[in-house]
């Protein structure tokens, strides 16, 4: 079915189609309409699930951790300071290897207070052990939410589906709603290997000693360091799983094909702009204008941010004359976080391009197409200005 609705509704429909069993949430702008829509689905009987209102974001994720530990398919959503309030439990969910799916509706964090869009909230959680996926439009929102449940449950690692507040959450766009029978065909029921069950008592996530030890069965059990190693290794192996799931999704729904990066006019590009989220679609108009000026430039939207898809980045960017990273987040005192990851990926490339960093759109500052055009033209035509010092677009001092 083809409809026109908001990005938050697209996400809610994806959660419903995934036959999620437990939803716990606390309202925060601009995420609130997403969980409100889920509460409507549950109240009307359209969705057979437990909707649990809580007193805080920390409690929301705590409820999901408890529900997931008992074998339930669980979901929550948040934004900005709500995500930061979850921080302790975000680490816990990853360490406990619980396949929770959470939508992060990207918004700037305080202080000072802002309710507008940037990526500082989810970027601040990039090293917590969660998989992070970024989307560019409403069709990707609903599709990615469904795929996120498959991915999380296949590798036993929680997943964040990140999309831009207001720019996507509150705007109305056309998208297709997958047929429920096809979703059931694609997404198998959640059958955890380990879960809390009164009939088979066990302890989960007790205090772990620094070294390995022998368990009650005489087998060597991992210590804390081995557990962290396993999470890291499994995150890296997720790169293969992401591609396999995307191929399965394509076979059922005839959509997909870009699980790592989404390219636009990159095949013959001498320069490539890189970014996260809906900005990559805004940049397409800029790319078209620069092409008319004879500048061979393309744009690469990163869809998977954690684990970082080094191989896809190297394949797309190695051998170009320059890479220009636009991002709505900052690693304070250093540089753009995405910029640092791109540089790291390209460090051992045989043909390493020059790379440049622009910071823009923080706290919802308007990103004007003309500013993007000027910045990208400047980087493409004056490579000597491309260095490690981030430049700011739209800054007024």
The one-character DSSP state at 364 is: G
pLDDT band at residue 38, thresholds of 50, 70 and 90?
Answer: very high
Written as six digits, the tokens of 331 are 């690693």
Q: Which CATH number fits domain 2-186: 3.40.50.970, 3.20.20.410, 3.40.50.300, 3.30.420.40?
A: 3.40.50.970
Note if the bond before 111 is cis, omega within 30 degrees.
Answer: yes
Q: Which of 358, 171, 376, 164 is nearest to 277 (CA)?
A: 164
Establish whether domains 2-186 and 261-392 are of one fold.
Answer: yes
pLDDT in tens, 98-113: 999 999 999 999 999 9
| Cβ contact 119:367 at 8 Å | no
pLDDT, average across residues 23-52: 97
Q: Please state, in angstroms and rounded to a whole number, the distance separating the CA atoms of residues 97 and 55.
A: 25
Among 169, 84, 93, 65, which Cα is nearest to 123's?
Answer: 84
Peptide bond into 103 cis (omega under 30): no
pTM of the predicted structure, to 2 decimals: 0.96
Mean pLDDT of 383-388: 67
Cβ-based neighbours of 242, under 8 Å, separated by 6 or more: 151, 259, 260, 304
Is residue 145's pLDDT more than 90?
A: yes
Exposed e or buried b per residue across 16-28, where buried means at least 16 C-beta atoms within 10 angstroms of its C-beta: bbbbbbbbbbbbb
- pLDDT level of residue 214 (50, 70, 90 thresholds): confident
Q: Quick one: pLDDT at residue 218? A: 86
Q: What is the pLDDT of residue 43?
A: 97
What pLDDT shows up at residue 386? 65
Q: What is the per-residue pLDDT across 65-102, written as a single tens digit (0 to 9) for each?
A: 999 999 999 999 999 999 999 999 999 999 999 999 99
With CA atoms as reference, report the closest residue to 126 among 74, 85, 83, 64: 83
Q: Give dist(CA 106, CA 383) in Å, integer.
A: 32
Place of tokens 């069965």: 217
Sign of the four-CA dihedral 6, 8, 9, 11 = positive
Domain locations along the chain: 2-186, 261-392
Under the banding of pLDDT at 50, 70 and 90, the label for residue 383 is: low
Q: What's the pLDDT at 384? A: 67
Distance (Å, whole) CA 247 – CA 268: 26
- Residue 216 confidence class, pLDDT cut points 50, 70, 90: confident
- Which region among 16-25, 122-131, 216-225, 341-350 has the lowest average model confidence (pLDDT)? 216-225
pLDDT digits (tens, 9 = 90+) for 244-284: 999 999 999 999 999 999 999 999 999 999 999 999 999 99
DSSP notation for 28-76: -TTTHHHHHHHHHHHHHTSS-SEEEE-SSHHHHHHHHHHHHHTT--EEE
State the CATH architecture for 261-392.
3-Layer(aba) Sandwich (3.40)
Please tell me the predicted confidence (pLDDT) of residue 55. Answer: 96
286 or 210: which leads in pLDDT: 286
pLDDT at 203: 75
- Confidence (pLDDT) at 385: 64
Give tens-digit pLDDT for 324-353.
Answer: 999 999 999 999 999 999 999 999 888 899
DSSP annotation string for 283-320: HHHHHHHHHHTT--EEEEEESEEES--HHHHHHHHTT-
Q: How far is 330 from 340, CA to CA, in rounded Å?
A: 10
Strand partners, 272: 298, 323
Number of H helices, E strands in the chain: 13, 17
């Amino acid at each position: 079915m083809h409809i026109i609705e908001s990005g938050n509704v697209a996400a809610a429909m994806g959660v419903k189609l995934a036959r999620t069993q437990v939803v716990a949430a606390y309202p925060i702008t601009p995420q609130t309409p997403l969980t409100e829509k889920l509460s409507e689905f549950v109240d009307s009987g359209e969705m057979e699930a437990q909707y649990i209102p809580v007193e805080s974001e920390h409690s929301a994720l705590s409820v999901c951790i408890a529900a997931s530990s008992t074998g339930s398919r669980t979901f929550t959503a948040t934004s900005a300071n709500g995500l930061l309030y979850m921080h302790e439990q975000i680490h816990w969910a990853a360490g406990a290897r619980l396949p929770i799916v959470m939508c992060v509706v990207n918004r700037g964090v305080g202080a000072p207070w802002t309710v507008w869009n940037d990526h500082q909230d989810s970027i601040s959680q990039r090293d917590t052990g969660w998989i992070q996926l970024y989307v560019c439009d409403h069709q990707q929102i609903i599709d990615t939410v469904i795929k996120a449940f498959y991915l999380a449950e296949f590798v036993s690692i929680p997943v964040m589906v990140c999309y831009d507040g207001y720019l996507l959450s509150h705007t109305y766009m056309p998208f297709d709603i997958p047929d429920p029978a096809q979703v059931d065909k694609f997404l198998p029921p959640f059958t955890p290997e380990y879960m809390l069950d009164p009939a088979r008592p066990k302890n989960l996530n007790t205090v772990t000693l620094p070294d390995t030890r022998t368990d009650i069965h005489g087998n060597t059990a991992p210590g804390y360091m081995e557990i962290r190693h396993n999470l890291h290794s499994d995150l890296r192996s997720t790169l293969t799983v992401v591609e396999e799931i995307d191929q399965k999704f394509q076979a059922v729904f005839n959509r997909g094909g870009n699980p790592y990066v989404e390219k636009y006019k990159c095949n013959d590009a001498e320069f490539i702009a890189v970014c996260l989220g809906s900005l990559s679609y805004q940049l397409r108009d800029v790319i078209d204008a620069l092409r008319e000026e004879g500048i061979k430039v393309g744009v690469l939207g990163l869809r998977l941010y954690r684990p970082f898809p080094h191989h896809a980045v190297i394949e797309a960017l190695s051998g170009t004359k320059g890479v220009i990273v636009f991002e709505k987040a900052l690693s304070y005192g250093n540089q753009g976080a995405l910029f640092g990851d791109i540089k790291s990926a390209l460090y051992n490339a045989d043909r390493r391009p020059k790379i440049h960093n622009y910071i823009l759109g923080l706290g919802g500052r308007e990103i004007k197409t003309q500013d993007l055009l000027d910045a990208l033209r400047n980087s493409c035509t004056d490579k000597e200005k491309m260095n490690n010092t981030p430049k700011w677009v739209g800054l007024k001092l």
